[in-house]
Amino acid sequence: MSQINVGIIGFGTVGAGAFEVLTTNREIIANRVGAEVVVTKIADLDIESDRGIPVMPPKAILTVDAMEVIHDPKIHVVVELMGGLEKAKEFILKAMENGKHVVTANKALLAEYGPEIYRAAERHGVALAFEASVGGGIPIVGALKHGLSGNRIRTCIGILNGTSNYILTKMTEEGLPFSKVVQEAVTLGYAEDPPTLDVDGTDAAHKLSIIISIAFGSPVSFKDIFREGIGAVTPDDIRFAEEFGYSIKLLAIAKDLGDRLEARVHAAMIPKDHILANVDEAFNAIYIEGDFVGPNLYYGLGAGRRPTASAVVSDIIGIARQIRSGTKGMPPPLAHVRSPAQEIVIQPIEDLVTPYYFRFSALDTPGVLSKIAGILADHKISISSVIQKGRKSGGPVPIVMLTHEARESAAQKAISLIDELDVVADKTVLIRVEGSRQ
């Protein structure tokens, strides 16, 4: 086959970017595939406005009707970049039914309806590729499916949401509260208005569910992943973390515990000398440990037209190569031909064992520390460091502690008892610690 025809549904930021990559790098892509890869149809409700790309597609290939792409017999690969859930799912399933291979960047769709869409791809013998759904331009899906495919994946720790990482970076650099930085980020156009799914951990959980599904071979719902956002992190916590030698990041963590899988998204303290502590601004990074390869790190821009388009086009090229070589059937979407013998069981957060950071807000009177320490001891929580700053006569002061490893259920129970003490003025802040310095 000398030409692979591509139809794009959704000509927004990423759609226009994908078109730009395919036209700008047309020759090098043709050389890599052994055939021309040509966008022959593009559907979008708006086919008039300028997309800010050097060369706009010819008017003749633009349509407002997605069905013209889905039912075009000449199109081999349908690229869904419209976003959203129900309509996107309908279009993808229809395209597969029509024998089209599908590329999507829609992590929310895969996180919500992954199993149904993966099954449809296998039933129709078509490819479903989604490199751009996790980590923007970082080729993490390809790394898990190919480069690391000889390994058991032991650990994955990701900074998977650029918006949260940008906000935490600014809070750290400027000492400003969360609400102020969010407001600035929205005004400057760095964050959506409001950036709820970015800052509450949902977007990172979507992406972690996709990583886990590929790494472990069985779809996991993002709803089963414990998630907390960064809204409760204060400049005080960032400052105290620094004094202890840590940075605060929104981490997406998956660990193979043998019979269970740890899977969680939350703000976490990591040692400043941990490689992920230095991933700042809107960058993403994913740290993976495989049983043979050891540690691997992937770093890059997790959003934006050009990086995301780069990932989308890598999927198109992968499929085009398979078509070109005449491969029968396509690899299954999660790159596991058989499901694992054991279903993935996610460990409840109550069973997590990790070190903690606590910030108590207590009156500065004799015996307060011993009352708090007593409750922690009753719950088998061992303190590793304490800082108490400032003395406000009569008013509360922060007492900040790092603990050794403790069980989450014990930590939560101890906090609820401590918060009932009459010398404690405000709710205690808990931040989980990853990669302890102890």
Q: Which of 5, 40, 104, 163 binds ligand HSE (CB under 6 A)?
A: 163
Site for ligand HSE in 37-66 (CB under 6 A): none
Q: Active-site residue 207, yes or no?
A: yes
Q: How far is the CB of 200 from ligand HSE (least distance, A)?
A: 12
Q: How far is CA 324 from the centre of its chain?
A: 32
Q: How far is the CB of 164 from ligand HSE (least distance, A)?
A: 7
- Stretch of residues binding ligand HSE (CB under 6 A), selected from 9-17, 53-61, 157-165, 325-333: 157-165
Is residue 302 near ligand HSE by the rule CB under 6 A?
Answer: yes
- Contact between 234 and 283 under an 8 Å Cβ cutoff? The reply is no
Binding track over 252-291 against ligand HSE, x by CB under 6 A: ----------------------------------------
- Stretch of residues binding ligand HSE (CB under 6 A), selected from 121-129, 160-168, 314-322, 328-336: 160-168
Nearer to ligand HSE, 201 or 318 (CB): 201
Site for ligand HSE in 358-397 (CB under 6 A): none
- Stretch of residues binding ligand HSE (CB under 6 A), selected from 49-57, 68-76, 158-166, 399-407: 158-166
d(CA 84, CA 26): 29
Q: Which of 44, 80, 203, 256 binds ligand HSE (CB under 6 A)?
A: 203
- Contact between 10 and 95 under an 8 Å Cβ cutoff? The reply is no
Crossing angle of helices 162-174 and 235-244, rounded to 10°: 80
d(CA 148, CA 290): 7
Nearer to ligand HSE, 137 or 290 (CB): 137
Is residue 137 near ligand HSE by the rule CB under 6 A?
Answer: no
d(CA 236, CA 172): 10
Is residue 303 near ligand HSE by the rule CB under 6 A?
Answer: yes
Crossing angle of helices 26-33 and 305-325, rounded to 10°: 30
Is residue 200 near ligand HSE by the rule CB under 6 A?
Answer: no
Among candidates 433, 237, 250, which has minimal Cα distance to 352?
433
Is residue 131 near ligand HSE by the rule CB under 6 A?
Answer: no
Catalytic residue among 41, 145, 207, 249: 207
- Containing 268, the helix (H) or strand (E) segment is strand 261-271
Is residue 198 near ligand HSE by the rule CB under 6 A?
Answer: yes
d(CA 5, CA 300): 29
Coil, strand or helix at 283: strand
Residue 58 CB contacts under 8 Å (≥ 6 apart), including other chains: none
d(CA 233, CA 166): 14
The DSSP string of 388-426 is E----TTSEEEEEEEESSEEHHHHHHHHHHHTTSTTEEE
Among candidates 343, 406, 409, 403, which has minimal Cα distance to 373?
403
Q: How far is the CB of 176 from ligand HSE (least distance, A)?
A: 19
Nearer to ligand HSE, 17 or 162 (CB): 162
d(CA 96, CA 216): 25
- Containing 248, the helix (H) or strand (E) segment is strand 246-256
Site size toward ligand HSE, by CB under 6 A: 7
Q: How far is the CB of 298 from ligand HSE (least distance, A)?
A: 14
- Contact between 262 and 279 under an 8 Å Cβ cutoff? The reply is no
Tokens of 94: 């229809």
Q: Which of 162, 300, 307, 333 binds ligand HSE (CB under 6 A)?
A: 162
Is residue 314 near ligand HSE by the rule CB under 6 A?
Answer: no
Q: Which of 5, 40, 104, 161 binds ligand HSE (CB under 6 A)?
A: 161
- Stretch of residues binding ligand HSE (CB under 6 A), selected from 67-75, 161-169, 334-342, 395-403: 161-169
φ, ψ for residue 253 (rounded to 5)?
Answer: -120, 130
Nearer to ligand HSE, 96 or 144 (CB): 144
Q: How far is the CB of 241 from ligand HSE (least distance, A)?
A: 22
d(CA 162, CA 149): 27
- Stretch of residues binding ligand HSE (CB under 6 A), selected from 155-163, 210-218, 384-392, 420-428: 155-163
230 DSSP 8-state letter: S
d(CA 62, CA 43): 6
Nearer to ligand HSE, 199 or 431 (CB): 199
Active-site annotation, residues: 207
Chain residues that interact with ligand HSE, rule: CB under 6 A: 161-163, 198, 203, 302-303
